[in-house]
Structure 1
Amino acid sequence: MSELRFDGVTIRYGNRRRGTTAVDGVDLTVPDGAVVGLVGESGSGKSTLARAAVGLLPLTGGQILLDGQPLRHGSGPRPVQMVFQDPYSSLDPRMTIGDSIGEAVPRGTRSADRRQEVARLLELVELDPARAGAYPAQLSGGQRQRVAVARALAARPQVIVADEITSALDVSIQGTVLNLVRRLQRELGTSMLFISHNLAVVRYVASEIAVMYLGRIVEHGPTAEVLADPQHPYTRDLLAAVPESTRARSAPVTADPAPAAIAAAEPADPHAPPPGCRYHPRCPVGPLVHGDREICRTTEPTAEHRHAAACHFAPAGRPLLRVAD
């Protein structure tokens, strides 16, 4: 069993007088052997949560549990490994890719066994083991990201956190890396938290999806259900931004006649989130459109609706669209 659970996790930068709460009371579970997609725009707190999971950031509140036990980051093998967004900056340019992968193999492994493990891992990520002597600069972006995946697997983790691992790659390479992720997860059964701002990407690899906005989870549920029938207006706005080519022709967008005030509204300042619902300054079903919905400005919504949607007026309208398979 390899279940990763975030229990009321809060992460704050700075001090009490001058600081930012990047993650605010997040509850999220990555079930054993499942891929959970975490989506949201820049500044929502996705990468902060990822870095906390691998011990790169301290928690201000709450706890992170692995199989029900508090996750501890000591000097030994780390059960949660991360694949970073930029494969070039995550690999030491002065080390061969074989040495980079071998460095992550558990200590105490004999040199011959270490070389065999490096060769096995390179084959696993569909790279020629003969490339073990190459340096990162001699590889393409897609190849470097495969090396980063192999390095994460070398530590034999129970959970992998993949943070925007395709966003720095050419579109022509993204599909290859995503196919690799799906195959490895299917063959190895490793639990994974897959972070992206691209809903089409998350739909392709994740069985569950969590939507994050200004440090909080605003909707969470099975990927197919959430994307087919989103309950939170922020999720619907994210879906409305999906390119037409990724939508099913049989389910066109249902346009809401939001006033010009919504289009001109500025996103909330993450350093000073608004009271009540954090999405209300730009919400198409909030007080900017419906003057009698002052509750959105004053009272924080609870996640008691379908898909745990944190919205006072969920569901607000019909299904917006269905993302194509």
Structure 2
Amino acid sequence: MSELRFDAVSVRYGHHLAVDDVSLTVPSGQVVGLVGESGSGKSTLAATAVGLVPATAGRVLVDGAENHLRKVQMVFQDPYSSLDPRMSIGGSIAEAMPRGTDRRAEVARLLELVNLDPGRATALPSRLSGGQRQRVALARALAGRPEVVIADEITSALDVSVQGAVLNLVRDLQRQLGLSMLFISHNLAVVRYVSDRIAVMKSGRIVEEGPAERVLAAPEHPYTRELLAAAPRRHTRLEAS
């Protein structure tokens, strides 16, 4: 388990400041839900954590160290574009493993971990549903043996009927493996289901952050209150397996 920390991170694209002086900590073994509308800077912040986007200012640290990229893995939003369509799902998972790993056995273990039949390791992504592909994407992220996982809108492209099952899986995996996780969504109903802490992002800045119970019960910022008012009282069939 490791702590992920954004230390005064800013990201600028030309004249546009996408992330503005963000300081945020994902405590060891906890889930921080990062919520905000599209364009608020959430995904840019996530991409900075895994080295896909350079920070204009500030630092991203894991346990106080900047050389952390092997410790952080990301699961992307679209399960249809995150896997190579020409590669078997077992091959995609094995590709992310450290050298010296018994790949066949580890692929089978990881597929079982995400509730998929190991016998499907030879299947191409086109043979899977969106929910199954997202499970493979989770297995691929775990193949790198990360200490921190960033989940970026991983249910937004899925049918409502399977969102709950994927969220249950994410919650169970995080608890079972003791992962630190940054869980990103525009949907506060989803974020509150999996998070120990909640951070609210608007126009590139964190406008509110705290324990999930406090943020949900007594939001301090007007934007948080807007998000809470717009969220369903209960996320549809989150308890579904």
For the residue of structure 1 that corresponds to 2:157, the secondary structure is coil
Kindly indicate whether the alpha-carbon contact (under 8 Å) linking 2:10 and 2:21 is maintained by their aligned counterparts in 1.
Answer: yes
- Output the CA distance in 2 between the equivalents of 1:241 and 1:116: 45
Superposed CA offset, 1:235-287 (max 9, x none): 011111123556xxxxxxxxxxxxxxxxxxxxxxxxxxxxxxxxxxxxxxxxx
Using the size of structure 1 for normalisation, the TM-score is: 0.71
- Output the CA distance in 2 between the equivalents of 1:198 and 1:24: 22
Structure 2 counterpart of 1:149:
138
Kindly indicate whether the alpha-carbon contact (under 8 Å) linking 2:17 and 2:204 is maintained by their aligned counterparts in 1.
Answer: yes
Please tell me the residue identity of whatever aligns with 1:11: V
Structure 1 counterpart of 2:202:
213
**Cα offset, 1:70, TM superposition:** 1.4
1:243 pairs with 2:228: no
| Correspondence list, 1:245-264, <5 A | none
1:67 pairs with 2:63: yes
Kindly indicate whether the alpha-carbon contact (under 8 Å) linking 2:155 and 2:166 is maintained by their aligned counterparts in 1.
Answer: yes
Structure 2 counterpart of 1:106:
98
Structure 1 counterpart of 2:216:
227
For the residue of structure 1 that corresponds to 2:2, the secondary structure is coil
Structure 2 counterpart of 1:90:
82
- Output the CA distance in 2 between the equivalents of 1:245 and 1:204: 9
- Output the CA distance in 1 between the equivalents of 2:2 and 2:233: 37
- Output the CA distance in 2 between the equivalents of 1:197 and 1:140: 23
CA RMSD of aligned residues (A): 1.0
Unmatched runs of 5 consecutive residues or more in structure 1: 247-325
- Output the CA distance in 2 between the equivalents of 1:67 and 1:30: 10
**Alpha carbons of 1:198 and 1:152: their partners in 2 closer, same or farther (altered >3 Å)?**
same
Q: Percent identity?
A: 74
- Output the CA distance in 2 between the equivalents of 1:245 and 1:175: 11
For the residue of structure 2 that corresponds to 1:184, the secondary structure is helix
Structure 2 counterpart of 1:40:
36
- Output the CA distance in 2 between the equivalents of 1:220 and 1:82: 22
Kindly indicate whether the alpha-carbon contact (under 8 Å) linking 1:64 and 1:71 is maintained by their aligned counterparts in 2.
Answer: no
Q: List 4+ stretches of structure 1 deviating above 6 A.
A: none
Superposed CA offset, 1:121-164 (max 9, x none): 00000000000010101000000000000000000001000000
- Output the CA distance in 2 between the equivalents of 1:27 and 1:48: 14
Pair member with larger Rg: 1
**Cα offset, 1:72, TM superposition:** 4.5
**Cα offset, 1:51, TM superposition:** 0.4
| Correspondence list, 1:154-169, <5 A | 154-169=143-158
Structure 2 counterpart of 1:10:
10
Kindly indicate whether the alpha-carbon contact (under 8 Å) linking 2:153 and 2:184 is maintained by their aligned counterparts in 1.
Answer: yes
Unmatched runs of 5 consecutive residues or more in structure 2: 236-241
1:182 pairs with 2:174: no
Superposed CA offset, 1:30-78 (max 9, x none): 00000000000011000000000000000100001110111454xxxx2
- Output the CA distance in 2 between the equivalents of 1:245 and 1:205: 13
Please tell me the residue identity of whatever aligns with 2:87: M
Please tell me the residue identity of whatever aligns with 1:3: E
- Output the CA distance in 2 between the equivalents of 1:95 and 1:142: 18
- Higher strand content, 1 or 2: 2
1:131 pairs with 2:123: no
Structure 1 counterpart of 2:110:
121
Using the size of structure 2 for normalisation, the TM-score is: 0.95
- Output the CA distance in 2 between the equivalents of 1:80 and 1:245: 31
Structure 1 counterpart of 2:191:
202
Kindly indicate whether the alpha-carbon contact (under 8 Å) linking 2:216 and 2:228 is maintained by their aligned counterparts in 1.
Answer: yes
**Alpha carbons of 1:228 and 1:87: their partners in 2 closer, same or farther (altered >3 Å)?**
same
- Output the CA distance in 2 between the equivalents of 1:40 and 1:245: 18
Kindly indicate whether the alpha-carbon contact (under 8 Å) linking 2:93 and 2:136 is maintained by their aligned counterparts in 1.
Answer: yes
- Output the CA distance in 2 between the equivalents of 1:203 and 1:242: 10
